[in-house]
Chains A and B, each alone.
Chain A
Amino acid sequence: MALIGNPNTGKSTLFNCLTGLRQKVGNYSGVTVQKKTGITSLGGDNIEILDLPGTYSLAAESPDERVVVEALRGEIENVDRPDMALCILDATNLKRNLFLAYQIGQLGLPMVLALNYWDSAKKRRIDIDLAELRSRLGVPVVPISASRAEGIAELKEAIAETLVSQPLLRTPDWPDSVIEALDEMRAVLPSESLEQLDEVALLRSLFEGDEERLLRSGASETQVAEALNSGKKVLFKGGLNPANVEAVLLYRHIKTIIDSSIKHDALSQTRGSESIDSLLTHKWWGLLAFLGLMYLVFQSVYSWAGPFMDLIDGGKSALQGAVSSWLERWPIINSLVTDGIVEGVGAVVIFLPQILILFFFISLLEDTGYMARAAFLMDKLFSWCGLSGKSFVPLLSSYACAIPGVMATRTIQDSKARLVTILVAPFMSCSARLPVYVLMIGAFIEPRYGAGVAGATLFVMHFVGLLVAMPFAYVMNKYVLKTPPQPFLLELPSYQIPKVKDVFIKMYSQGKEFVVNAGTVIFAITIVIWALLYFPRPESVMDETRASFAASLAAERAITETAALQAIEESEELQVELENRVSSAYIEQSLMGRMGKTVQPVFSAAGFDWKVTVGIIASFPAREVIISTLGIIYSLGGDVDEEAGDLRETMANQTWPSGSRAGTPIFTIPVVIGIMVFFALCQQCGATLAIIAQETSWKWAVLSFVLMTSLAWGVSIVVYQVGNWF
């Protein structure tokens, strides 16, 4: 069974009502359209419900609509043609809602109509004659109130009955000119393509001027053009404008139905939403309220999630410690379990607090109807570069983390605007970049220029991504995603009191989907990175490092090497230093270290040495990893953080070992700024790639990776080269 309706008709509330937690969320392959299925029990039988995206019509202009049409016709792979359609209508706005119902009716599916908001229709004294409506439409019509779970039992009964008796919606009698136009089309099209085209397909092609459907049936381009042309001519002669014939005829028909079945007390229409709006979309108060709300949302994701994330992190470390002491005898398995598996699980779970908190707010904002107002307020700022007013919340959340940010783009109906938003979201300065900025600024900017400049630099770094993202969006929108522009249309729904159940189901299903889909990829990436850092691991490295450490110690203290080895054995401090040196040596000759050295020439134009390059490569799965990687490489151990004085000092003392720059410091100001800009622009987050792939497809994830990384590389070189002139 397919569930379908206009946006803002309470469709997801009804879906939650029918299915509870028995839901599955996914994506239709190849398009950025969410696929939701659920199971409801109907007198002992389980029925699968396909919750189709909310849409105003079946004109198949946007990907959402195309999915709806194809799903209803059973043309999508792995999705069976539904046996019936449950069409949810807003009882307070039947006129427009019946429009969609009639279009679905044309597809020849048995149908049940659910009139939602029955209670508020009554309150508004909209008097609907159900018996008359049923007889005019020919299908069951059930009044419900999904938010109060009223009428659900009756609805289920009607569904059960419909599956047996298969009632069809009585389609309107089209005027002669439409029939004639169809005949004209049949006369032109070849017989083999007519075999594939039923009356509905022809009718839809005529109404939509859709050539594609006709071409797919095997007709030639000239035949298709001629068929559509002659059909349109007949319509024109009949006094109908081919561009809007369907809307005109259907609304005319719907008007007769409404007139006979609804008594509408026009005066009692509530203007409640508008009086709230006089404040919430007010020129000043509206913007102020918006900023306040957004600040709250941002704070919640940025700060409130912190304690939970610390808790997860602490739990992870404790588990690692416990496992590590337990598996001490098998170093490879120990490392795989602690640094690979436990780390990987931790890397997935760590995102959950932010995702859950953000979706708590998003479903509140959506269900109350405020999200549409936020889009209304912000649209001007975003429309010029192909984003929409609804991009604001996802982009803002991306300042905390791009993962929930990308997931939040689901609120954007326009799929092109959604895709562009997804592609620019990783540019926003997420919290994982902060440690890198703090390290670089703290080590190099602050000592030289003082706290004022340091603070200003940190501030500016947070806007670098945004400044690049806007033109990037503009270019993507204009030159890469060449779909015809759609008029921006946004319904400002009446304000509603959100339902707690809907909010929690949304949080649950988003969290679950993240763990199942993106989580597996993030986990896999962590394991791969672990392997790259771990292998190869010859025993000889240990001995060589010990020998060289002893040699340097011997030289330093003017003692024999044997005495030095003895000293290392006895001193705990020297033991730790040896361990750090061994880790550093291992990383240097691990696959990752070798990659860093191989790739280093690519970054030499930006002034990065191989150590920085390894740090950058190691931080591709997650940016913050660079801190601990640098700690290991500089033989300080992996437990350093960005505030650590010794890490800053060691970095400041790094010099080029050889070449034309031998002896000069590696971390000059242009290099430091270059590194920060690189981190600001680079797609260094395996989790973000996984989530982009989950929400769109791997094609876009790869594109995002290639574009952002090459952009970051190019800009950091420019920064370094230009910086060196001063």
Chain B
Amino acid sequence: MAISKSCCIGAKRIDFKNLLLKLGLNKPKRRIILKTLNDLVDGQTVKIGSYKQTLGASRRLMELGLMPGVRVRFIKSAPLGDPIAVDVEGRQLSLRREDAAQIYVQPE
């Protein structure tokens, strides 16, 4: 019983993904290329790319030096998983993951 149940759910999930792919809503390849500041591992260094349109307060982040093209090192996340700490030109800044997910980064 248990096996068939999980099969069912698994099958449904695949269908759902395929459906999204067919509709062109889900583009796995793009998602791999466009990483955000939220997707990094400890110690990884990247360059700030652009900001997602949804982040209304991008100006504030830029004023603090998170300008496109600036090198940023992901230091770590807080013990509870959020927020994260990054190194921006020798300064440590902390921001919440929801904000970090609005900032695209490029590998160095």
Contacts and interface: CB of A to CB of B under 8 A. Distances in A.
Interface of A: 56-57, 59, 61, 92-93, 95-96, 99, 208, 243-244, 246-248, 251, 269, 273-274, 277, 281-284, 286-287, 372, 375-377, 379-381, 383, 484, 486-493
A490 B80 contact: no
A704 B96 CA distance: 29
Given A243-B58, A247-B59, A377-B80, A489 B64 contact: yes
Nearest to B96: A488
A226 to B, nearest CB: 22
13 contacts: A59-B60, A59-B63, A61-B57, A281-B79, A287-B79, A376-B94, A377-B79, A379-B96, A486-B57, A487-B57, A487-B99, A488-B96, A492-B85
B18 interface: no
Contacts of A274: 75, 87, 92
Interface of B: 51, 55-65, 67, 75-76, 78-83, 85, 87, 89-96, 99
Nearest to A486: B57
Given A247-B62, A487-B55, A487-B57, 4 more contacts: A244-B51, A247-B59, A488-B83, A489-B64
B79 A490 contact: no
A446 B59 CA distance: 60
Nearest to A62: B60
B87 to A, nearest CB: 8
A491 B96 contact: no
Contacts of B82: 379-380, 383
B56 A484 contact: yes
Which residue among A92, A246, A251 has the maximum number of chain B CB atoms within 10 Å of its CB? Answer: A251
B50 to A, nearest CB: 9
A684 B65 CA distance: 46
A502 B67 CA distance: 34
A385 B55 CA distance: 20
A381 B80 CA distance: 8
A99 to B, nearest CB: 6
Given A92-B90, A96-B65, A376-B94, A490 B55 contact: no
A490 B95 contact: yes
A380 B60 contact: no
B78 A377 contact: yes
A68 to B, nearest CB: 13
A489 B62 CA distance: 11
Nearest to A493: B92
> A-B pairs with the 4 shortest C-beta distances?
A247-B62, A492-B92, A380-B80, A490-B94
Which residue among B61, B62, B99 has the maximum number of chain A CB atoms within 10 Å of its CB? Answer: B62
Nearest to A57: B63
B83 A376 contact: yes
A632 B87 CA distance: 64
A248 B67 CA distance: 8
Which residue among A59, A287, A377, A380 has the maximum number of chain B CB atoms within 10 Å of its CB? Answer: A380
B58 A244 contact: yes
A173 B89 CA distance: 26
A332 B82 CA distance: 61
B5 to A, nearest CB: 33
Contacts of A376: 78, 83, 85, 94
Contact of B59 (A59, A283, A287): A59
Which residue among B61, B64, B87, B93 has the maximum number of chain A CB atoms within 10 Å of its CB? Answer: B64
A383 B99 CA distance: 13
A16 B60 CA distance: 29
A210 to B, nearest CB: 11
A489 B99 CA distance: 9
B79 A244 contact: no
A95 to B, nearest CB: 7
A489 B93 contact: yes
Given A92-B90, A488-B99, A379 B64 contact: no
Contacts of B89: 93, 95
Given A248-B67, A486-B57, A379 B91 contact: no
B79 A269 contact: no
A208 B79 CA distance: 36
Which residue among A92, A286, A492 has the maximum number of chain B CB atoms within 10 Å of its CB? Answer: A492
Contacts of B59: 59, 208, 243-244, 246-247
A491 B92 contact: yes
Contact of A379 (B55, B56, B61, B78): B78
Contacts of B93: 489-492
Contacts of A61: 57, 60
Which residue among B61, B65, B95 has the maximum number of chain A CB atoms within 10 Å of its CB? Answer: B65
Contacts of B76: 281
A51 B62 CA distance: 25
Given A281-B78, A489-B64, A273 B92 contact: yes
A376 B94 CA distance: 7
B38 to A, nearest CB: 13
A189 B60 CA distance: 28
Contacts of B92: 273-274, 277, 491-493
A281 B91 CA distance: 16
A95 B96 contact: no
Contact of B79 (A246, A286, A484): A286
